Structure 1
Amino acid sequence: MTAEQTAVPIVAQSRPDNRRRAWSMTGLVVFLYIINYADKAVLGIIAQPMARELGLTSAQIGMVGSLFFLTFTIGGFFAGPLNKYLTLRWALLILAAAWSVVMLPLLISASLVTLIVGRMLLGLAEGPSSALMHTATYSWHPPNKRGLPGAFLMASGSIAKILLAPVLTFITINYGWRTTVAVLTVLGVTWMVCWLIGWTEGPYTGKAPKAEAGDADDAVASVPWRKILLSRTFVSCGALTIVVYGLSTVVLTWLPSYFERGLGYSALQAGSMLAIPAIVTLILLITSGFVTDRLMGRGASSRTVRIIVPCIGVLVCGIVLAALPLVDVPMLAVIALSIGYGAASMAFPLINAAISELCPPQQTAGTMGAFLATMAIGGLIAPYATGVIIDNAATPTAGYTLVFQVIGILAAIAAVAALLLANPDRDRRAILG
């Protein structure tokens, strides 16, 4: 019997081991995503003490947040080239090393200029990493089983808020914001050691031999990028995630400040209360990922599972946020915002999985990089616009609630548009046909 004849049985026999290996590798990527998210979120945690020390206005803090997402968007387009010329192992290691050190000059010379430069370099280094982390995770999971691992990736933000945000807030209050920045560098270096020791690439990358992957789609030839990027699914889902990502960046940059200045909680309470929306989001992300993967396994269409479900979540978010100005009890406002944010966050893993279906495996990193860079446009606008609105509002509370109301209305409109236009199954056939 030839090696070619025995290849498939060997894969089949080792499948349980492969699944355990797949989830251990997914856990390693989730660890990185937690650190990645903490690096993004730290500006919101240190914003108020840094603003008091450096004399920064809300508009300036918002500008720093938006400039981060400017370079983050630009960096996203480098995901494809990095994946082409480097292995996932070395590409992510280099990026993690870069974002672990770029904020360190701020510890020596704290100023608005140093803050801007550091956050822009951080955005540039983190830009390609999200697409590459999705590609690394997807390399261990076939297309019809990517909802749950994608949910764990996106749940990393919630895990960071639940586990790290209270700790980083405590460190900031008791030891200063500079210590918080240094702690994140140590976490980055720790992950790099774990990555070098533990990571191996999975079979669903488009680079592996067909027999190893066991997936006929691996033999599909590359297609013109315009067919992917101009498809109705890509465009409408891109518009939807721009709005949802805008909400996420407002939460990253401004939520602790909203809890403190807008709702009257103490600084320690405000930082710790990031765990409330994080817990809601974590529950909804994991539940939706598990349920939708089961539905896909039972024959449900990708449109039903990865378009209709997240669009309903974003629509719920839009309704809740649009009604937020009517809520005048602080804790009810926290709960309403948590439900709205959690419902919208379900969109990220499900729609990311839908977008990954549009292309051949070897074009996954480039497609995800372009999609995530498009999504990050929301981050270019939302943090700075929020700061301007707060500075010009009658009260901080009025400014924050107006921002959330506007985002809610835009989210509802984008959800309806995606419901009408997006269909991954239809567009995949058109693209590969």
Structure 2
Amino acid sequence: MTVTNGPNRAGKSEVEMTEATHPVGTRTARTAWSITFLVMILQTVNFADKAVLGIVARPLSEDLGLSNADIGLLGSTFYVLFVVTGLLGGFIADRVKIVWILLAMALLWSLVQIPILLVGTFGALIVSRVLLGAAEGPASSLANVAVFGWFPKSKRGLPSAVVTSGSSLAKILMAPALTLVVAAYGWKSAFFTMMVVGVVWAAVWLVVGKDGPYSVNTARERAKAADTDRVKRVSILRIAALPTFWGGVLGMFAIYGMVAVILTWLPSYFEQGLGYSRVNSGLLFALPSVTSMAAMLLSSYVTDRLAGRGTTVRVSRGLVSAVALFVCGACLAAIPYATSSWIAVVLVVTGYGVGVATFPLMFVAVTHISPERQVASTLGVFVALFQTSGILAPWLTGHLVDAASSPIDGYTTAFQIFGVVAIAGAVVMFLTVDPERDRARVAAIDPLTNADGEAEDEELLAVARDEDSGRGPEGL
């Protein structure tokens, strides 16, 4: 079959024409969204595991006699192996079915809670958080890879936003529930609850999880069947040297540091800094996630529509991300000047919500420059690099709080620092992110990139249509 990638007379690419004239069947669409929502629940568990430390920070410090710097250290140690396994996970997912990797991660998340339940000392917490970070390192990138296997490139923004909104649901639904559990049964009960939830998700995934027709495994297997030369890889160093990649890393480095601080310190900021009660602080913890979920879904839906109408990826994903990151930074930088606790809450809620909307947009932008058969490794390296800010940010915040004349001064100083860094990151992203330009550069290195990423869509859609008739990819 001969397929061209150039625009037709109407100005639409062959990919757009293919998607318009060969829609995926309703059965495949239902399966795609079912898998998407199940993976979203996995992300909810993932971020609830991170957020649980913020929920138990105050009772934990009182019970074990820990300082703010100790709590910050617990938050930072989570990211020590988190980055390493995040790098490795993507390369493994290029070669192993994503369904098995997600299953293994969910089970590991549950097992590593056991040291806390059996011992409950500061040392056990350190060990458990390090192991949990190692198990969760590849989660964000591989969750998106699993869902991208069910959607063509131009329609991945909204599914990615749905998956990423699991981080918001963790604080909207799980955090208040865990706060009440801790208030009734003590801080260990939060870790026990997360262990049980992880096991339940794994059991469901074992039954219904499967790869999609656009998955990395499908692309690799078809490439091997068609031509052995098509499985050669573009060096990840060459991809990482592209401005879209490294500029995106710098911008997302700024926003992820803020996310790590929010997960570790926000309830404490509300309680120690703004004077809210412990239960109310836990409930207020959900507010930033309401705005982030709304911002992610709305921005991704709108940018998917723009992409479908021919708007460049630079505009629909890159520039929108840069603007969102700038607004986030401005809100955080203004927190020290808030004249009341409610203004401070609004600035945190708005800044966090708008900033987090950059995640699904940049995931789509980075996968656009990657050969389809290397999406997992490319996204894994991208995510692992920007998540390194999580190693420093929680500890730095705890240190600032301990060193300040009052807790609120320490918290507001930390927020202001992250706000300025976010503004700088937004400027870098504005100047560097251009997926179309960098995809052309990758195609010059490996001319088969276009075949993997675009021209194969017609055949992949045929796979999806076969599934509708019962002949497509099988589940577990």
Q: Which runs of 5+ in 2 are unaligned?
A: 1-17, 445-476
Contact residue 240 and residue 415 of structure 1 kept, 8 A: yes
Alignment match, 2:327 = 316
Q: Summarize the Cα distance change of 1:299–1:31 in structure 2 as closer, same or farther, 3 Å threshold.
A: same
Could you tell me whether the CA contact under 8 Å between 1:62 and 1:383 is conserved in 2? yes
Aligned runs of 1:70-219 on 2, under 5 Å?
A: 70-208=80-218
Shift of 1:196: 0.7
Moved over 3 A (4+): 11-14, 209-213
Q: How far, CA to CA, are the matches of 1:220 and 1:290 in structure 2?
A: 33
What corresponds to 2:410 in structure 1?
399
Matched, 1:67 2:100: no
- CA distance in structure 2 between the aligned counterparts of 1:277 and 1:315, rounded to whole angstroms: 17
Counterpart residue identity of residue 206, structure 2: L
Is the contact made by 1:203 and 1:212 (CA closer than 8 Å) also made in structure 2? no
Instruction: Tell me the CA shift for residue 278 of structure 1.
Output: 1.0
- 1:221 deviates by 5.0
Of 439, 463, 475, the residue aligned with 1:428 is 439
**Aligned twin of 1:3:** none
The CA distance in 2 between the partners of 1:259 and 1:210, in whole Å, is 49
* Alignment pair present for 1:37 and 2:47: yes
| TM-score, normalised relative to structure 2 | 0.86
Aligned to 1:208, what secondary structure does the other structure show?
helix
Which residue of structure 1 aligns with residue 361 of structure 2?
Answer: 350
| 2:55 pairs with 1:51 | no
Measured against aligned partners, the alpha-carbon deviations of 1:344-364 in whole angstroms (never above 9, x if no partner) come to: 111111011101111111111
Alpha carbons 1:89, 1:199 under 8 Å: kept: yes
- Paired with 1:84 and 1:346, the residues of 2 have a C-alpha distance of 27
Specify the SS of the correspondent of 1:357: helix
Alpha-carbon distance between aligned partners in 2 of 1:211 and 1:399, rounded to the nearest angstrom: 54
Residue deviations 1:90-113 (CA, integer Å, cap 9, x gap): 111111111111022111211111
Structure 1 residue corresponding to 2:380, chosen from 369, 375, 379: 369
- The superposition leaves residues 176-201 of structure 1 with CA deviations (integer Å, 9 ceiling, x where unpaired) of 11111111111001101110111110
**TM-score after normalising by structure 1:** 0.94
Selected match of 2:26 from 16, 25, 45: 16
Deviation at 1:155, TM superposition (A): 0.9
Counterpart residue number, 1:383: 394
Mapped to 2, the partners of 1:327 and 1:19 lie a distance apart of 47
1:168-219 deviation per Cα after TM superposition (whole angstroms, max 9, x unaligned)? 0000111111111111111001101110111110011232269999xx9xx6
The CA deviation string for residues 111-160 of structure 1, in whole angstroms up to 9 with x for no partner, is 11111110000000000222211110110111111111111111111111
- Counterpart of 2:236, as a letter, is W
Alignment partner of 1:97: what SS? helix
Instruction: Judge conservation of contact 1:220–1:360 (CA < 8 Å) in 2.
Output: no
Of 279, 303, 318, the residue aligned with 1:292 is 303
1:394 is paired with a residue whose SS is coil
Q: Is residue 233 from structure 1 mapped to residue 244 from structure 2 by the alignment?
A: yes
How far is 1:84 from its partner? 3.7
Matched residue SS, 1:319: helix
Query: Is it true that 1:336 corresponds to 2:347 in the alignment?
Result: yes
What displacement does 1:31 show? 1.1
1:411 aligns with 2:422: yes
Question: Share of identical aligned residues, percent?
Answer: 40
Q: Displacement of 1:14 after TM fit? A: 5.2
Cα offset for 1:220? 7.8
Letter in 1 for 2:216: G
Deviation per residue, 1:377-423 (Å, 9 max, x gap): 11011000000000000100010000000111111111011101111
Q: Aligned AA for 1:87? A: K
Matched, 1:25 2:9: no
Counterpart Cα distance in 1 of 2:78 and 2:48: 14
Q: 2:266 aligns with which of 255, 268, 289?
A: 255
C-alpha displacement of 1:244: 0.1
Structure 1 residue 85, shift from structure 2 partner? 4.2
C-alpha distance in structure 1 between counterparts of 2:220 and 2:68, whole Å? 54
SS of match in other structure, 2:275: coil
CA contact (8 A) 2:97 2:217 kept: no
- Report deviation, 1:17: 2.2
Residues 210, 272 of structure 1: alpha-carbon distance in 2 compared, 3 angstrom cutoff:
same
* Partners of 2:220 and 2:45 in 1: CA distance: 34
* CA-atom RMSD in angstroms: 2.0
Mapped contact 2:220–2:373 kept (Cα < 8 A): no
- The answer to whether the 8 A contact 2:324-2:354 is kept is yes
Name the aligned partner's letter for residue 308 of structure 2.
Answer: G
Please report how far the alpha carbon of residue 232 of structure 1 lies from its aligned counterpart in structure 2 after TM superposition: 0.7
Q: Secondary structure at the match of 2:216?
A: coil
Residues 1:359 and 1:221: Cα distance change in structure 2 (over 3 Å): farther
Give the Å deviation of 1:76. Answer: 0.3
- Give the secondary structure class of the aligned counterpart of 2:436: helix
